[in-house]
Chain A
Amino acid sequence: MASVEIRDVRKAFGSTQVIHGVNIGINDGEFVILVGPSGCGKSTLLRMIAGLENISGGEIRIGERVVNDVPPKERDIAMVFQNYALYPHMTVADNMAFSMKLRNAPKSEIQARVSKAAGILGLEKLLDRYPRQLSGGQRQRVAMGRAIVRDPQVFLFDEPLSNLDAKLRVQMRTEIKELHQRLKTTTVYVTHDQIEAMTMADKIVVMHDGIVEQMGAPLELYDRPANLFVAGFIGSPAMNFVKGKIRAGAQPSFESDGGGVFPLTTAPQGSDGQPAVYGIRPEHFQLSAAGLPAEVVVVEPTGSETQVVAKIGGQELVCIFRERITAGPGETIRIAPDPNLVHLFDAQSGNRMS
């Protein structure tokens, strides 16, 4: 096991720069998830850690060693690919043993490690099967088994769950997290799914257009998103954004461009009249007689909760309530955003106003 240090790393394909100086520190044993929309450079960064892509600038350290010029096989990392990349002509056991066979490890050691990994992943009965004969989830597990057998310093996962169906994805998510808690191997995991990131990570790195937007523990990102991008990316359904102006004073408030007025607990100093973006998560609304009148547009009950799209000052807001709503479209309900859980962002820079 080892820490990973990414210092001012840059990547350019020809004249197009895709990663613009990224700094990430990953502690020994930490589970770090790189998350972001497609094309944000997260997979490229992972492949640079693996050594499958050259590093155009900056340096990557695994443990104490700078690995910029170290070939992939000497970096002591194991990677799980999105399409699993199992060798189709080898049985499950041979797939897992391949790296050790290449190192000419003694047969008894290979056998021991393969059966240990198979035991961890529940693959004992499948060792003689070929990848074609396995289901998606089983293939996924074999791919992880291949990584575990290596007993590497760092596990790298490249969107390992995107080829699975929704139900299996949830199950494998739990399995991977359990596995990490058991093995405590430093893990870097790439995904575009913020739910995966929130549920599994010790630390999330949100990337966008080749830069790191924010880095921190999942709930830190959820509670205090640093800018509009992170605020909109983390959380599902996404945070509501309302454009308008801050009104400071004895009773500070936020006035939307459409004329809605939202209460604030405090206004940032000297912000009276400043254009800003008001952010509130759907789950931070409450039904309250003292709330703001809102016109119901759509009601979507899911059983455990009810999702309502309602309009305040011409602006549609998504709200989630634990209660069941009987109001229909066109009717008015009174909703109260929790003023303690409101986020204000600068309209120009998109950064959080503390």
Chain B
Amino acid sequence: MSDSVAGRLTAPAIRHTTRWDRLRINRNWLGFWFMLPAALILVLFLAYPLGKGVWLSFTDAKIGRTGVFIGLENYEWLGLPWWEDADGVFWLSVFNTVVYTVVASVVKFAIGLYLAILLNQHLPFKALIRSIVLIPFVVPTVLSAIAFWWIFDSQFSIISWSLRHMGLIDHNINFLGDPNNARAAVIFANIWRGVPFIAITLLAGLQTVSPSLYEAATLDGATRWQNFRFVTFPLLTPIIAVVMTFSVLFTFTDFQLIWAMTRGGPVNATHLMATLSYQRAILAGNLGEGAAIATAMVPFLLFAIMVSWFGLQRRKWQQGADND
């Protein structure tokens, strides 16, 4: 019935807004629809695997056999470091990971900051030098790891060869065969690879500092060191917090470099939590136990994120103009 009487529509002709209309048109729901594809991707590829991994760590799944829920048994096997029957290899890998992360991050930061300041000066061929610095970051990890593997090879190492020819040593250095040498070697490789990222990011931060601040500080009587200590460094702290968070997260979860160079050896001296998890879960087939090791990384990562969260808080001086 769509007859109208005196220009007025009869009741059935008026289309009432349905719930579907509201979902389609309402601004808040519109935002939701735009967000949905991204959210789905994140859920599918991040949240689901993470949840599945945590679930696996509560089962005794093996490759080819769905597990049954066994509660915290996997974690009990890993134990705590002071337990008699704790998993020594696991705790060694925790120790290795922490040493690897701390030493590599500190050195990467120091070298990266130094390089950034150097590259911020007026140098001839500045653009060329900046791109050269980026090379370690551009080369695929596995390729550079294999190169390092040869550099640190027990028979053909170019370092041993050079030192021998200079008469400094009389036999080859056992780089990857000795536990501490191996640790130093993989840390060195990680630093070599990680420095460009930090250097270039900090350089970008340095370039946002107005040169007139340095001039003002120079006139105020600041030496070069005081210029750095009181002007450059404080202004750089926000970007340092960001870049070091990323660096710590990437270093802590490192896998490729170790796997290509040492596979965790010798005698597990370079096993990180990521490599150990892979070895237990995929190579040995104990999915549940591997998942437990991987899940054990989460608290450490959360801790790192918390540190940066507080480091990243907008400092008071960064806050905008509120003339209250």
B212 to chain A, nearest CB (A): 4
Q: Does A89 lie within 8 Å of B315, measured CB to CB?
A: yes
Which residues of chain A come closer than 8 Å to B220, judged between CB atoms? Answer: 73, 98-99, 102, 146, 150
A103 contacts B by Cβ under 8 Å: yes
11 A-B residue pairings within 8 Å (CB atoms): A50-B215, A50-B219, A82-B212, A83-B212, A85-B213, A87-B213, A87-B217, A87-B230, A98-B230, A102-B220, A133-B323
Residues in B whose Cβ lies below 8 Å from that of A99 = 220-221
Report whether A130 and B212 are in contact in the complex, using a CB–CB cutoff of 8 Å: no
The reply to whether A85 and B216 form a contact with Cβ atoms under 8 Å apart is yes
CB–CB A73/B219 < 8 A: yes
Q: Is A78 an interface residue (CB 8 A)?
A: yes
CA distance A12 to B7 in the complex (A): 86
Among B217, B317, B321, which residue has its beta carbon within 8 angstroms of that of A89?
A: B317
User: Is residue B234 contacting chain A, with contact meaning CB distance below 8 A?
Assistant: yes
Q: Closest chain B residue to A149 by CB distance?
A: B220
Q: Is B235 an interface residue (CB 8 A)?
A: yes
Whether B235 lies near A77 (C-beta < 8 A) is: no
**Chain B CB within 8 A of A81 CB:** yes
Cβ–Cβ contact A77 & B219, under 8 A: yes
- Tell me, yes or no, whether B84 is within 8 Å of chain A by CB: no
A90 and B317 contacting across the interface, CB-CB below 8 Å = yes
Taking A85-B210, A85-B213, A88-B235 as contacts, is the C-beta distance between A73 and B221 under 8 angstroms?
A: yes
Given A87-B213, A87-B230, A88-B318, 18 further pairs, Cβ under 8 A: A52-B219, A72-B218, A72-B219, A79-B215, A79-B219, A81-B216, A85-B212, A87-B216, A89-B315, A98-B220, A103-B221, A130-B319, A132-B321, A133-B319, A133-B322, A135-B321, A135-B323, A150-B220
A60 → chain B closest CB, angstroms:
15
Report yes or no: B221 in contact with A83, Cβ–Cβ below 8 A.
no
Q: Which residues of B contact A51 (CB under 8 A)?
A: 219
Bound state CA distance, A342 and B18, in angstroms?
Answer: 85
Q: How far is the CB of B313 from chain A (nearest CB, A)?
A: 14
The one of A85, A98, A131 in contact with B215, judged by C-beta atoms closer than 8 angstroms, is A85
1/0 contact string of B291-324 vs chain A (CB within 8 Å): 0000000000000000000000001111111110
A20 CB to closest chain B CB (Å) equals: 25
- Interfacial chain B residues near A130, Cβ < 8 Å: 316-317, 319
Residues of B203-256 contacting chain A, CB below 8 A: 210, 212-213, 215-222, 226, 230-231, 234-235
A73 to B216, CA, bound (A): 10
Across-interface contacts of A78 in B (CB, < 8 A): 219
Q: How far does the alpha carbon of A73 sit from the alpha carbon of B230 in the complex, in Å?
A: 16
* Least CB distance, A77 to chain B, in whole angstroms: 7
- How far apart sit A89 and B230, CA to CA, in the bound complex (Å)? 9
Instruction: Select from chain A the residue with minimum beta-carbon distance to B220.
Output: A99
| B231 cross-chain contacts in A, Cβ below 8 A | 87
CA of A222 to CA of B295, assembled, Å? 82
A73 smallest CB distance to B (angstroms): 4
Please give, as numbers and ranges, the residues of chain A lying within 8 Å of B217 by CB-CB distance: 87, 98
Contacts known (A73-B220, A102-B226); A132 close to B319, Cβ less than 8 A: yes
Complex CA distance for A90 and B315, rounded to whole angstroms: 11
Q: Which residues of A contact B (CB under 8 A)?
A: 50-52, 72-73, 77-79, 81-83, 85, 87-90, 98-99, 102-103, 130-135, 146, 150
- List residues of chain A with CB within 8 A of the CB of B221: 73, 99, 102-103
When the two chains form their complex, are residues A81 and B215 in contact, meaning their CB atoms are under 8 A apart? yes
Give chain B residues whose Cβ lies under 8 Å from the Cβ of A146. 216, 220
A81–B215 Cα distance when bound, in Å, is: 9
- What's the nearest-Cβ distance from chain B to residue A81, in Å? 5
Give min CB distance, A110 to chain B, whole Å.
Answer: 13
Q: Whole-angstrom distance between the alpha carbons of A133 and B212 in the complex?
A: 20
B78-107 vs A: 1/0 string, CB under 8 Å?
000000000000000000000000000000
A150 to B213, CA, bound (A): 17
- Contact between B212 and A88 (Cβ–Cβ < 8 Å)? no
Closest residue of chain A to B234 (Cβ to Cβ) is: A89
Smallest CB separation, A149 vs chain B (Å): 10
- Closest A-B pairs by Cβ, 6 of them: A99-B220, A85-B216, A73-B221, A85-B212, A130-B317, A89-B234
Q: CB-nearest residue of chain B relative to A47?
A: B215
Residue of A nearest to B214 (CB): A85
Q: Which residue of A lies closest to B209 (CB)?
A: A88
Q: Give the docked Cα–Cα distance between A102 and B231 (Å).
A: 12
A37 CA to B219 CA, complexed, in Å? 26
List residues 56-70 of chain B with CB under 8 A from any CB of chain A.
none
User: Which residue of chain A has its CB nearest to the CB of B324?
Assistant: A133
Residues of A within 8 A of B210 (CB): 83, 85
**Chain A contacts of B323 at CB under 8 A?**
133-135
- Give bound CA distance, A87 to B230, whole Å: 9
Q: How far is the CA of A135 from the CA of B321 in the complex (A)?
A: 8
Distance in angstroms from B221 CB to nearest chain A CB is: 4
Cα(A134)–Cα(B188), bound, Å: 47
Q: Is the CB of B317 within 8 A of A73?
A: no
Residues of B within 8 A of A87 (CB): 213, 216-217, 230-231
In the bound complex, what is the Cα–Cα distance between A24 and B109 (angstroms)? 50
- Which residues of A sit under 8 angstroms from B212, Cβ to Cβ? 81-83, 85
How many whole Å from A337's CB to the nearest CB in chain B? 47
A132 touches B222 (CB 8 A): no
A130 closest partner in B (C-beta): B317
B226 to chain A, nearest CB (A): 6
* Bound Cα distance A79, B221 (Å): 12
CA A89 to CA B236, docked complex, whole Å: 10
| Residues in A neighbouring B315, C-beta threshold 8 A | 89
Q: Looking across the interface, which residue of chain A has its beta carbon closest to that of B316?
A: A130
Of A52, A134, A135, the contact of B218 (CB 8 Å cutoff): A52
State the CA gap A328–B316 with chains docked (Å).
60
Contacts of A79 in B (CB 8 A): 215-216, 219
- The docked-state distance in angstroms from the alpha carbon of A135 to that of B320 is 11
Question: What B residues does A135 contact at CB under 8 A?
Answer: 321, 323
Q: How far is the CA of A132 from the CA of B321 in the complex (A)?
A: 5
